[in-house]
Amino acid sequence: MIYAFFYGLFTGLLLSLMLGTVFFCLVQNSITNGFKSGIYISAGVIISDIILIVLSYFNSYLFPPGGTTELIVRLCGAVFLLFMGISNLRSHKKVLFPTAESKNPVILGSKGFMLNILNPANYLSWLAVAATLTNVMHFSSGQRWLYYTGALCSIFGMELLISIGASWLKKYISATFLRRLDMVLGIVFIVFSLLLLKPLILGK
């Protein structure tokens, strides 16, 4: 059970490092409107993640249990991770910090919610996670929810750290920095893709 929680923490850390629109929004608002604005945006992100997790959790049951399903999930998961890895290796993100105008908690929370939930990659990521936990790792229901708790705690914690260190972070966020981070994440995703394929290749 403890393993499931820490595995979730690690997954949440990886997802937090995928710097997208939420990250830039978080940094700019935290600098302009203070740490509290980062909390509101992070809360909106977490609420949207909870919705995506619940949807993916129940949709994962569309995959019937059994050896064939595990094979399909492993292949699809490996292809998905490989795609994300290659996309990160080829990525050339631009540094775009949006203007932070509102201090209204509802607006800030809604902004974090919408930026996160409208990204289809987030739902696909949680669906891949749900299918893997159920059909490959064979986590029990309790282990899965402990895993999700760890992931959400990690994501929320990282976003709070980003909000706290926003002024310091912004100095170092450049196209070169984003490129290097994408390279590291790309390699990590490709390694995980190969780990999913390992039992199929080696027959173990």
Question: Smallest Cα–Cα separation from 20: which of 87, 80, 78?
Answer: 87
| pLDDT at residue 87, rounded to an integer | 80
Does residue 81 contact residue 193 with C-beta atoms inside 8 Å?
Answer: yes
Tokens of 146: 């402990």
Does residue 99 contact residue 31 with C-beta atoms inside 8 Å?
Answer: no
Q: Encode pLDDT of 17-59 as tens digits.
A: 776 777 777 877 887 777 888 889 899 999 999 999 988 887 7
pTM: 0.76
Q: Encode pLDDT of 155-182 as tens digits.
A: 999 888 888 887 676 667 677 777 777 7
| pLDDT at residue 147, rounded to an integer | 93
The answer, yes or no, to whether residue 93 has pLDDT greater than 70, is no
pLDDT (mean) for 118-146: 83
- Helix 35-59 with 120-135: angle, nearest 10 deg: 50
First to last CA, the chain: 24
User: Long-range contacts: 51-54, Cβ < 8 Å, 24+?
Assistant: 51/117, 52/117, 52/122, 52/123, 52/126, 53/126, 53/130, 53/148, 53/152
Please indicate whether residue 85 or residue 13 has the higher confidence score (pLDDT).
13
| pLDDT at residue 60, rounded to an integer | 66
Q: Where are the chain's structural domains? A: 2-195
Q: What torsion, rounded to 10 degrees, do the Cα atoms 147, 150, 152, 157 define?
A: -170
With residue 152 as reference, give the H or E element that holds it: helix 141-164
- Read off the pLDDT band of 153 (50, 70, 90): very high
